[in-house]
Structure 1
Amino acid sequence: MSLIPSRDRIRFLLNRLRERLWVKPLAICLLSILGALAARLTDHAGIGRFLPAITSEALLALLSIMAASMLGIATFAVASMVAAYASASSAATPRSVTLVIADDVSQNALSTFIGAFIFSVVALTGVKNGYFELAGRFTLFLLTLVVLAIVILMFVHWVDRIARLGRLGTTVNRVEQVTHDALLRRRLSPTLGAHAADGTPTGGLPLASPEVGYVQQIDMARLQALAAEMDTRVQILALPGTLVAPGQDLALLHGCPEPARLDRARLASAFQIGRERLFDEDPRFGLVVLAEIAGRALSPAVNDPGTAIGILGTLVRLFVMWDAPLPQAQRDEDALLYDRIGVPPLAMADLFDDAFTAIARDGAATVEVALRLQKSLQALTHGSPAMAEAARHHGRLALARCELAMSLEADKALIRAQAPATD
């Protein structure tokens, strides 16, 4: 079996690294140390006599100013980012914090400020101990100017970003983007490159979960290789986002002529199980989080129906993208890569349950939200038959909730006029 991780596995690991605040600052710190020490190389190039003289005192003064200021700016950046994380958690939902942490601009800004501080400290130490000669001091002076320019540009860019980071609108847009990307990947490969399966257990030997948690990712390439090695076929039951526990089946194993060859522990290792659901591998989670943000906005403590109405527009955009026909070139990309695995596609009814149930429940007594919900569902009835049926079903459910929650007959009449006709 190949030890080279698959492309999907590499993407999964890189996304997890993006959610760690220490990765980029550590890399930039290492580069800063190398950059400061590399200036010494020019002292051996014999070009010192052609360069203007930079005194150690001038260089020390410049580096001292940068070291003192960068430490303060880095501390300010950390405090601002922590405040943005708290704002995202309280204004939107705690499930969105990982997206705010993964913001590239903020991570790059923090890395730049810390890297500039480390660069100045290392360079100060070298200059004070006579590590650099004429050419080295000139090179270090140029590097210092470059670092200062990068810091200034990054600071200006970061100030513009931090003013919006953690705000509700920015968080909703970020959730929409990651949900769009996850839906698009699943749309391009609805069965993850495997055979289509209906997800219903049909005999076979069970492959139980070894622990409690959510299925975060399935390493399809590894599972295919293991299935070929053990001469079995795998029918996946637990897609990413499924909560599993010991004794609950991840998959069923079919067709193995020698069951003794099955190593269930190795097969189960292809399923990445963790404590939390993830956006990039679980399209349904993004829909759940959007509905959760809308539900919080509709709570009596917040009372912000406008946010819920805006999220309904977001959900319509996502479902229209999900249901749009694929060009032939993109359909050809959905090749059968894993012939020993069966994967159930996402069900349209499940997607609608994730997206609209909470909003219909929490907004049942708010006429403007209920009206916009019916109009949104009505717009989705013009899609595929599966989408149209799911939209009509949720329209009827939303109407039933409004009948129970609303007291004014005129409001109920408005909702009935927009709701789909009963069968």
Structure 2
Amino acid sequence: MSRAAWLWRLLSRRLWFRAAGFSVAAVLLALFAAVIAPWVPYDLSAKIGADAVDNILQIIASSMLAVTTFSLTAMVSAYSAATSTVTPRAVKLLLEDTTSQNALSTFLGGFLFAIVGICALSTGLYGEQGRVILFAGTIVVILLIVLTLLRWIEHIARFGRVHETIARIEQVAIKAAHRLPRDPVPAALATGPAPVGARAVCCDGFGYVTHIDLDELEGCAAACGGEIRLAVLPGAFVDPERPVAWLASDDEAIAARVRKAITIAHDRSYDNDPRFGLIVLSEIASRALSPAVNDPGTALAALGAQLRVIAALFDREARDPSNVPLNVTIPALTFEDIVTDAFRPIARDGAAMVEVAVKLQKTLASAAHIAPAMRDILGAAAREARERADAALDHPADREAVAQAHRAIGG
């Protein structure tokens, strides 16, 4: 995905952008009646009185303002609940929820449509024929409002809830995993030494890599007549002293293009960073395992979601082949970091809960079946988790249950 397409995608996810688009469309629809009024048969216009349209618009204007306010309040409450009960990192996904954005935009657009229609009727802008078009447009708006309201009622019942948020994070993490050009590898194989004679390209500020424009980098490689080796992946934190790429050219203009192709932001993004999704799922599990919450079921659900994300990391059939550049070398995710980010917090915070400790051992064993080449790394994580559980569990039967589950991974 190009940088321009990426920026457009970020813009289109903003709540105000969708609401503004619906509002402009509603105003244009209300004014459209005056434009095509001359083509409406007079006999048809005589059957629809001004009072019929005006009364309907009055009802829409008064009700949509209240519904819009209620919907906005419900959304803010869901954001606050997710911040306090799930994790603040999940709120970004809720803000980008298309169903809630469409609902709020439709209600606001219906309100503006009614206001503009009432104002135009009071000034006599439409005339007899224009009322017919306005009436037809009003019926269309009512149908959209009813359908949106029915969907919104079903959606708001689960919007921002813990398990729904876990499923949402899992989905975006799986999509990000499918965008990776290659499988995760052990740390020793992730990156090689810097190319001899290559120039280090560094970014100008501090932040996280959120997007890399591979097409632009391909163009840079063609322009310099060599290969570009990336030193970072989305999710990496960079500073002005850390190289983000190695360039086989001393041309400052090409180096500037390489910097521009790598987008830096203050916060991490889910779209191209499956590791961030695993971290957030681990945060949800850790919060659920805190003494104040004491909800091991949520931790078990998070472990299941993490296992499905790891399976997606090694699903080559679902991977997008267009993400494999010709003249740009991309480092691979290090599997040790993935395992540490995903499972160490849960092993630490759930060590005293036998059901969580057993589920963690089974999850690591399943991951070893998915990625047999990583069995040693997963086995080390399983041994560490078992040691934590042995130190925290008091009853011998609980320790034996964890030991039995640990044997499935070859421990």
Q: TM-score, normalised by structure 1?
A: 0.89
- 259, 275, 281: which one pairs with 2:272? 281
Is the Cα contact below 8 Å between 1:312 and 1:376 reproduced in 2? yes
Please give the per-residue CA displacement for 1:135-189, whole angstroms capped at 9, x wherever unaligned: 1101111211221121122112101101110111111110111111111222xx3
Match of 2:51 in 1: 57
What letter matches 1:207 in structure 2?
A: V
SS at match of 1:339: coil
Q: Distance in 2 between matches of 1:260 and 1:320?
A: 42
Matched, 1:264 2:258: no
Deviation at residue 134 of structure 1 after TM alignment: 1.4
Deviation at residue 18 of structure 1 after TM alignment: 4.1
Is the Cα contact below 8 Å between 1:230 and 1:261 reproduced in 2? no
Please give the per-residue CA displacement for 1:89-148, whole angstroms capped at 9, x wherever unaligned: 111111011111111111111010000011011111110000011111011112112211
Instruction: Tell me whether 157-166 or 261-270 shows the greater mean CA deviation.
Output: 261-270
What letter matches 2:94 in structure 1?
A: V
- 365, 368, 388: which one pairs with 2:375? 388
Matched, 1:165 2:159: yes
Match of 2:186 in 1: none
1:360–1:182 CA distance, 2 compared to 1 (3 A)? same
Q: Distance in 1 between matches of 2:121 and 2:276?
A: 54
Is the Cα contact below 8 Å between 1:236 and 1:341 reproduced in 2? yes
- 225, 231, 252: which one pairs with 2:225? 231
Instruction: Tell me whether 22-31 or 38-47 shows the greater mean CA deviation.
Output: 38-47
- 193, 201, 222: which one pairs with 2:193? 201
Please give the per-residue CA displacement for 1:329-364, whole angstroms capped at 9, x wherever unaligned: x68x63686332111122332222221111111111
SS at match of 1:338: coil
What letter matches 2:405 in structure 1?
A: Q
Match of 1:86 in 2: 80
Match of 1:4 in 2: none
Is the Cα contact below 8 Å between 2:247 and 2:255 reproduced in 1? no
SS at match of 2:179: helix
Deviation at residue 390 of structure 1 after TM alignment: 2.6
Unaligned runs of 5+ in 1: 1-6, 192-196
- 124, 131, 138: which one pairs with 2:132? 138
Is the Cα contact below 8 Å between 1:218 and 1:270 reproduced in 2? yes
Instruction: Tell me whether 382-391 or 338-347 shows the greater mean CA deviation.
Output: 382-391
What letter matches 1:382 in structure 2?
A: H
Instruction: Tell me whether 277-286 or 222-231 shows the greater mean CA deviation.
Output: 222-231
Please give the per-residue CA displacement for 1:194-218, whole angstroms capped at 9, x wherever unaligned: xxx8423324321112100000011
Is the Cα contact below 8 Å between 2:190 and 2:333 reproduced in 1? no
Match of 1:291 in 2: 282
1:262–1:60 CA distance, 2 compared to 1 (3 A)? closer
SS at match of 1:321: helix
Match of 2:28 in 1: 34
Please give the per-residue CA displacement for 1:279-313, whole angstroms capped at 9, x wherever unaligned: 01111111111111001101111111111011112
Deviation at residue 422 of structure 1 after TM alignment: 7.5
SS at match of 2:292: coil
Pairwise CA RMSD: 2.1
- 107, 116, 133: which one pairs with 1:122? 116
Matched, 1:401 2:392: no
Deviation at residue 73 of structure 1 after TM alignment: 0.8
SS at match of 1:272: strand
- 319, 336, 343: which one pairs with 2:330? 343
Q: Distance in 2 between matches of 1:323 and 1:269?
A: 30
Matched, 1:308 2:302: no
Deviation at residue 325 of structure 1 after TM alignment: 5.2
The 5-angstrom pairing of residues 306-385 of structure 1 reads 306-324=297-315, 326=317, 334=321, 338-385=325-372
Match of 1:3 in 2: none
What letter matches 1:345 in structure 2?
A: A
Match of 1:416 in 2: 403
SS at match of 2:200: strand
1:422–1:125 CA distance, 2 compared to 1 (3 A)? closer
What letter matches 1:268 in structure 2?
A: R
Q: Distance in 2 between matches of 1:82 and 1:19?
A: 17
What letter matches 1:251 in structure 2?
A: A
Match of 1:252 in 2: 246
Match of 1:19 in 2: 13
What letter matches 2:383 in structure 1?
A: R
Q: Distance in 2 between matches of 1:337 and 1:72?
A: 51
SS at match of 2:245: strand
